[in-house]
Structure 1
Amino acid sequence: MSRRAVVVGAGAAGMLAAAVLAGAGVEEVVVVDRDELPDGPRGRRGLPQGRHAHLLMAGGLAAMEEIVPGVSLRKRLLAAGAHEVSLGSGMLARTPEGWLRRWRREGPAMLTCTRALVDWTVRAAVLEHPAVRVREGTAVALTGSAGRVRGVRVSGPGGEADLDAGLVVDASGRGTRILAWLDGLGLPGVRTRTVDAGLVNASRLYRTPAGAERFPLTIVHADPYAARPGRSAMVMPVEGDRWLVSCGGTRGGEPPSDPDGFLRYTLGLPDPIVGRLISGAEPLTDVHLSRSTSNVRHYLEKAPHWPEGLVVLGDALGTFNPAYGQGMSVAAFGARVLGRELERAGRPDAPGLARRVLRGAARPVDAAWAVAVGQDVLYPATRGGGRPGIADRAVTAYTRRLTRAATGSFAAASALWDVTSMRTPPARMFHPSALLAALAGPPLPLLTGPPLTPGEREVLAGLDRTGG
């Protein structure tokens, strides 16, 4: 059996899988990617969402640190200019139920930076392992049979070649060809579900204004309960003394790509704070749009037959509306499952390993899917969602009640932070403390505006060119 493993895709999921394999003693790990990878934190063609806001949640970062030990990705990201933001005190967040308070007690933290910086930092750390190398090329087929995958056929500058492998990991993202590859092995019929709210993302980079370096991350969430298209916007600090401003609108409420329309869109939200902030900030780029935002789930773990030697992770297993900030963390959770199963099995070609990894990786995918689809199906023009059932409506009503309580209850807010940060599964919202908080409602009155400090009010007033 080959002591080589092949990973298809050099994004976060692929590089984390490569780190796991190298750490498990695989002699050679070849990461195949069709893009020429940049030698620094710059975007690349094969990542359609790369220009938009990405949040690295505490749960996902913890999994990454476990996968790449002795490196401290957190420290590397912070040293490169990423920002650490407390969910409890470091952000201004307007939910459909009102503004969340900022508490003196810290909540879990997330890192904010460009997706390019995350990918480059992870890739650079993983490539320090001598067993890992990247090969430019396009994976066009799996080799082997319905019983065992033996490798990958790669098309590159020198033509096509077969890479033999004891284990193949498909981490090729939204563009995965896994269904076609399985058909080629004689394994058709995998069930797939797509739920598409028609979200369009529009993003633009701005120079952080002087004096606003410590202004909190600011987000106006979309409202899935209003029976109209969802519309949102976020101002997020990123490396290089910049703000990344991302807007998102579901079908019928899409943001425009022209600068004036972009500003009008932010000012037309239920609270115009994002527009007021950027009206006096210096733009550094054009407005970039992206439409690759649907939720797509390949139920590979339910296939009646699965070949040995093939694992699927990350977006190739399930993709989510990027508005919920789950993708990188779910990819890390899947790679961690791979690592734990390799540790138990002792070798990458162990019988049943691929199926066990697939089933384990599906659990965090399902949790993220429930959160994303549970919201997206509520938008009126969503396609593929179906009508929410009684249980769905009950969960939605409870989530609204808990969110309303979180506007004035630390216990309720803590439950939401734990789930949002992906430190705990969604069941955390039904912990007795959260249930009591939801039943009691907010003990403090609803805020009439964002919870700004006096200094932050001065910054906002100084930037505002709208007369607001």
Structure 2
Amino acid sequence: MPRRAVVVGAGPAGILASVYLTQLGFDEVVVYERREEPGEEQRGSQHSYPMVLSSRAMMAFADAGVAPACTSEAAGAIPCGGHFASGKLRTGGGDPRVPLPAELVTWVVDRVGLAADLLAEARRVCPDRIRFVFGAALAELDLAGRRAVFQVGPAGKQEQVVESGYELLVGADGANSAVRGFMQAQVPGFRTQLLYNSPARYKTFHGLPRDPPGDSGQELVPGIGQHRPRQHLYWFDHRLGPMVTFWLTADGRLDGLVSKVTDWEPSSLSSRISSVHPSIPAHLVEAIVAQVGEQPGSGAEGAEAGGSRFGRILTCSALHGPRCVLLGDAAHPVTGHLGQAEGFLSCSGS
């Protein structure tokens, strides 16, 4: 009888876990993801945001035998060269001309791009043993019977119900994990505690010009025209907000996000960004507000009205149940301030 594992969630942690599961001897790994397959068109969604990966993530990738293009110098990526805070380069100390030791090298990636690159790597290293099903939301989970039921199909259209048995089920479905919810309902003594739920929300913007228009000559930071994609993050922060973060994409344009905002009304937001961060050029402020501003009474709700949450801190009384285990943000969601790559390390320990 072939050994089958089911993974719920095809984010970076879930994809990496699927590769590890084949190394653990599973003959078939099926990965179900409620969203559509990550690709270029998803990089402009609210679910794409910058991540800074440390050597811990790179070690987990190496152990799995994968080399995502966004962290591969052979594929043209370059390590992070420090971050600009309000226009000033911060390298963490030391001479920026001296190469950092491997354990201190970091990589700036976007979440959707990383997922797409890991997906390509999983299909490369395990073409016959890992199967991905996108647009598949977990509807039922019977832990005692080892049975998972998914609703598969585009949102708002006729859905197909798919049932899958398994020897092991992995919940890698994020901070709002459905698997964790089923475990809490079915596993005696299993409980969770929400320690912190970030009040900060963010909205993303995309495709802004790096070069100033006409003869204005005002750049986001001096010399940005010579910077490489994802070589730096460009932070503009203020204690009372807003915080604006930029990064260069592969096509030389600026993507980013705005957070620590309570009033998204365009004129108010524009005035606040300009007054708090006068070094951000006016043409960029205008372009940002055009994408993220929200008119009062527009009828937008949820993420469209207030953006997406940054994160939460939650603990579980256990990270496993009968033939199931939680990984990544499903197991231990954290905020960005606590660092990233913990999810990848938990995959390697599965």
Conservation of the 8 A alpha-carbon contact between 1:236 and 1:244: yes
Letter in 2 for 1:254: T
Native 8 Å contact 1:114 1:238 kept in 2? no
For 1:257 and 1:238, the matched residues in 2 are separated by 27
Equivalent position to 1:245, from 252, 256, 270: 256
CA distance in structure 1 between the partners assigned to 2:33 and 2:71 by the alignment: 24
Which of 236, 246, 254 matches 1:235? 246
Indicate whether 1:120 and 2:116 are aligned.
yes
CA distance in 1, matches of 2:209, 2:73: 19
Partner of 1:218: 234
Letter in 1 for 2:274: L
Q: Which one is further off, 1-10 or 289-298?
A: 289-298
Partner Cα separation in structure 1 for residue 99 and residue 6 of structure 2: 42
Mapped contact 2:70–2:114 kept (Cα < 8 A): no
Alignment of 1:260-279 (within 5 A): 261-269=268-276, 272-273=278-279, 275-276=280-281, 279=284
- Counterpart residue number, 2:149: 153
Counterpart CA distance in 1 for 2:27 and 2:118 is: 20
1:278/1:122 Cα in 2 relative to 1: closer, same or farther (>3 Å)? farther
Structure 2 residue matching 1:72: 3-state secondary structure: coil
Q: What is the CA–CA distance in structure 1 between the aligned matches of 2:236 and 2:147, rounded to whole Å?
A: 47
Partner of residue 300, structure 1: 317
SS of match in other structure, 2:20: helix
2:270·2:285 contact (CA, 8 Å) conserved in 1?
no
Find the counterpart in structure 2 of residue 461 from structure 1: none
Corresponding residue number in structure 2 for 1:175: 176
Would the alpha carbon gap of residues 209 and 59 (structure 1) be closer, same or farther in structure 2, given more than 3 Å must change?
A: same
Alignment deviations for residues 199-241 of structure 1 (CA, whole Å, 9 cap, x no partner)? 0213322122176333553213454xxxxx4542222222221
CA distance in 1, matches of 2:268, 2:285: 16
Alignment of 1:326 onto 2:339: yes
Partner of 1:254: 262
SS across alignment from 1:266: helix
CA shift for structure 1 position 244: 1.8
The letter of the residue matching 1:245 is: G
Change (3 A) 1:245 1:294: closer
Within 1, Cα distance between the matches of 2:225 and 2:328?
Answer: 34
Cα distance change of structure 1 residues 101 and 248 upon mapping to structure 2, 3 Å threshold? farther
Question: Match of 1:196, as an amino acid?
Answer: N
Partner residue of 2:193?
A: 192
* Structure 1 contact 247–255 (Cα < 8 Å) conserved: no
- Within 5 Å, give how 1:37-436 maps onto structure 2: 37-38=37-38, 40-43=39-42, 48-50=46-48, 52=49, 54-69=50-65, 71-74=66-69, 84-87=79-82, 91-93=83-85, 103-104=95-96, 105-107=98-100, 108-128=104-124, 129=126, 130-136=128-134, 137-145=136-144, 150-156=146-152, 159-187=160-188, 189-205=190-206, 206-209=208-211, 212-215=224-227, 217-223=233-239, 229-249=240-260, 253-254=261-262, 256=264, 258=266, 261-269=268-276, 272-273=278-279, 275-276=280-281, 279=284, 286-287=291-292, 290-301=307-318, 307-322=321-336, 324=337, 326-327=339-340, 329-338=341-350
| Contact persistence 1:2–1:164 (CA under 8 A) | no
State the shift of 1:65 in Å: 2.3
Deviations 1:9-63 (CA, angstroms, capped at 9, x unpaired): 111111011011122231100001122314x333189x8532x3x1232234413
Seen in structure 2, the aligned counterparts of structure 1 residues 41 and 168 have a Cα distance that, compared at 3 Å, is: same
The TM-score, its normalising length taken from structure 1, stands at 0.57
**Cα deviation, residue 182, structure 1:** 1.9
Q: Which has the larger radius of gyration?
A: 1
Number of equivalenced pairs: 309
Moved more, 158-167 or 232-241: 158-167
Residue 9 (structure 2) aligns with = 9
- Give the Cα–Cα distance (whole angstroms) in 2 for the partners of residues 240 and 285 of structure 1: 21
Spell out, residue by residue over 1:284-337, the C-alpha distance to the aligned partner (whole angstroms, 9 max, x if none): 9822752323413131328xxx53311101111222334x3734x122111111
Relative to 1, partners in 2 of residues 1:264 and 1:235: Cα closer, same or farther, differing over 3 Å?
farther
Q: In structure 2, what is the Cα distance between the partners aligned to 1:153 and 1:8?
A: 11
Q: Secondary structure at the match of 2:41?
A: coil
Runs of at least 5 residues in structure 2 that lack an aligned partner in the other structure: 154-158, 213-222, 293-303
Question: Percent same amino acid among aligned pairs?
Answer: 17
Shift of the alpha carbon at 1:184? 4.2
Secondary structure of the equivalent of 1:21?
helix
Residue number in structure 2 paired with 1:390: none
Cα distance in 2 between the residues matched to 1:77 and 1:262:
38
Aligned position for 2:295: none
Q: Please tell me the root mean square deviation across aligned C-alpha atoms, in Å.
A: 3.6
Give CA deviations for 1:133-188 in whole Å, capped at 9, x if unaligned: 1124222232242xxx7242223356434311111100111331234312442435
Alignment check: 8 A CA contact 1:16 1:67 kept: no
- How big is the shift at 1:102? 7.1
Pairwise CA distance, 1:194: 3.9
Q: TM-score with structure 2 length normalisation?
A: 0.74
* Mapped contact 1:63–1:332 kept (Cα < 8 A): no
- Residues 45-103 of structure 1 show CA distances to partners (whole Å, capped at 9, x for unaligned) of 9x8532x3x1232234413422431x42256666777553223xxx32259xx997773
The Cα shift of 1:3 comes to 0.1
The SS at the match of 2:243 is strand
